[in-house]
Chain A
């Protein structure tokens, strides 16, 4: 049996007596696009935070391609092929689009204890950065200051930052957050284009996007998965309807 890209086993996390993650077991296969949905407060963001390394679980195991990463610091996980985009855009607003992505590229080209040669004009950084900028649909906008981008463009840059590190597993935390219909559609296209190249784990509320992109969906309620399956299976699942889909419009 081929190894899962991501294996979460018996994960628990509580905050001051309140249980946020209550026994999560989940496998994400290599190359699949797996979505996590659930009502607010279900623990989706807490789950992503533990996967990326921002917080540590109380107990349980997280494995990336068989390798245990449960307590590894954030930057180490990135070097093992994990990349993350944030729900609230986290970019370098005072830098240009290109500089933002160059920084992400630079992180994965050996150490940065280079003190003399200018970084911004370094081809080894610029070329991969420009490729990534194009891949997320920001081609031509590379000279623009990140603060001057539209909200949708900033979300695209957010994805670019994660992409530029050359990940095997891409964690996307509500990539459609705050986007209008057109912008969401464009984002779905971009993400669909990435599907063939890497494994994607995505947390989202936008159901159209989820059903368009996901190979499998897990529904998380009160820190526990209540169902996992293909979009068809999830649509037809009564428990899911009752707990979640039924309450959504």
Chain B
């Protein structure tokens, strides 16, 4: 996401095409009576929002966080716990999800961002693990078994997301808005600072930037957006449990971001599509699909740096 091109590239067109396809999925699946695919697409969209948020700090900012699943969990519990007390208002749950995620990002980011490289990765992982254990040990809210969410968040006066199609479009709107938001942020002055800090921190300090502040704000924005995705996820599954916060989930998110190509706005979208295709495809071959996925991951790292967007970009440069 460096020098902007004069006209949109192949990757951008591909990304917009995917979005356009997603926009018509509910219509098609209704007509073709293939509702399973609509549900899959809903999950895709929600994961894409999370991946977009992670790409902001990881792909764009160079901060490899292995703890992003914590925000998904916090967002989902911010829906689940009020629901447990029969508080279904979205106007309570969603701000809570975003606010708590932002707060968690602020506190853990303030500490984690004082470290770098390997340390940063480990520490973000540890903080997510801390959240995991915290929720596991609160028996009241289901502990290990999790919480069932009977009623979806109520946007009273606006729309009813119990209707699956309406819910789909709410998620879709959030995805489009997120992508656009990240697009503006990365091109803004703030974005330049974050990008510069990734490329050459020493130089940034030498020209007068107090980098820590900017990275922290970026981290908070990313966490808050991921918390929003978590709130949607809890609604989607009618369920929240600590398994949302397992570190394997953070690993999956990283895969989605990297597979899609960390350098591009639509990278996360491609990454999620790839991940879900792989997951679906491989699990039809065998229930032991994870070993194939693991093998694919290792092969991918060894032989294809740059991810899918990178491959598209390379193809473009050669043509």
Q: Chain A residues in contact with chain B, CB under 8 A?
A: 52, 73-75, 78-79, 83-84, 86, 90-96, 99, 102-104, 106-108, 112-120, 122, 125, 145, 161-162, 164-165
Contact = CB atoms under 8 A, between A and B. Distances in A.
B206 A78 contact: yes
Contact of B206 (A52, A119, A122): A52
Interface stretch (B124-132, B154-162, B189-197, B267-275): B189-197
B208 A119 contact: no
| Ranked 9 nearest A-B pairs via Cβ | A78-B208, A107-B208, A114-B189, A112-B189, A118-B187, A104-B207, A74-B205, A119-B189, A107-B207
A95, A107, A114, A165 pick with most chain B CB within 10 angstroms: A107
A92 B200 contact: yes
Label chain B's interface by main secondary structure.
Answer: helix
Interface in B189-232: 189-193, 195-196, 199-200, 202-211, 214, 217
A149 B49 CA distance: 38
A56 to B, nearest CB: 14
B190 A92 contact: no
A144 to B, nearest CB: 10
Interface in B33-47: none
A103 B208 CA distance: 10
Contacts of A83: 206-207
Most A C-beta atoms less than 10 A away, residue of B188, B195, B206:
B206
A161 B207 contact: yes
A15 B319 CA distance: 54
A20 B209 CA distance: 29
B318 interface: no
Contact of B207 (A78, A113, A145): A78
Nearest to B193: A112
Interface in B166-205: 184-185, 187-193, 195-196, 199-200, 202-205
A107 B209 CA distance: 6
A86 B206 contact: yes
A75 B199 contact: no
B2 interface: yes
B295 interface: no
Given A78-B208, A91-B203, A165-B207, A115 B190 contact: yes
B2 A90 contact: no
A52 B188 CA distance: 28
Contact of B208 (A86, A91, A99, A108): A108
Nearest to A84: B206
B187 A103 contact: no
Contacts of A119: 187-189, 191-192
A116 B181 CA distance: 8
A116 B190 CA distance: 9
A92 B197 CA distance: 10
A22 to B, nearest CB: 26
Contacts of A52: 206
Contact of A113 (B2, B187, B211, B217): B217
A145 B3 CA distance: 9
Contact of A120 (B4, B202, B207): B4
A210 to B, nearest CB: 23
A94 B192 CA distance: 12
Given A118-B184, A125-B189, 19 more contacts: A74-B206, A75-B210, A78-B208, A84-B206, A92-B199, A94-B199, A95-B196, A95-B199, A103-B193, A107-B207, A112-B192, A116-B184, A116-B188, A118-B187, A119-B189, A119-B192, A162-B206, A164-B207, A165-B207
Nearest to A107: B208
